Amino acid sequence: GAIALAKSPSLARLARLELLNNGIGPAGVAAIASSPYLANLECLDLRGNGVGDREAEPLETRFGKRVLL
C-alpha cells in the first residue's frame, strides 16, 4: 500500500499524488511524510483517509499548503 509506494524511487519526479479514500492508516501516512522520493510534489491529496491531527502534523510540516487532507 502506501508504505511500499513511499519507498519507491520511481516517484522522485512525481508532481501530483492523489490517494483519495484509500484507507491509508497512520503507518502509511508516516511513510509518505518521510519519503525522500516525494520532495518534488506540488500537490498531495489524501482527502477521505481519516488522517487525524497527530498524523497530519508531519505532512503539513513537510508539504505545507501542498497537502490536502
Q: Given pLDDT bands bounded at 50, 70 and 90, which one contains residue 19? A: very high
Q: What pLDDT score does 39 carry? A: 95
Percent of the chain with pLDDT over 90: 100
Residue 69 and residue 42 in contact, taking contact as beta carbons nearer than 8 Å: no
Question: Which tens digit of pLDDT belongs to each residue from 20-52?
Answer: 999 999 999 999 999 999 999 999 999 999 999
pTM of the model: 0.93
Q: What pLDDT score does 43 carry? A: 98
Percent of the chain with pLDDT over 70: 100
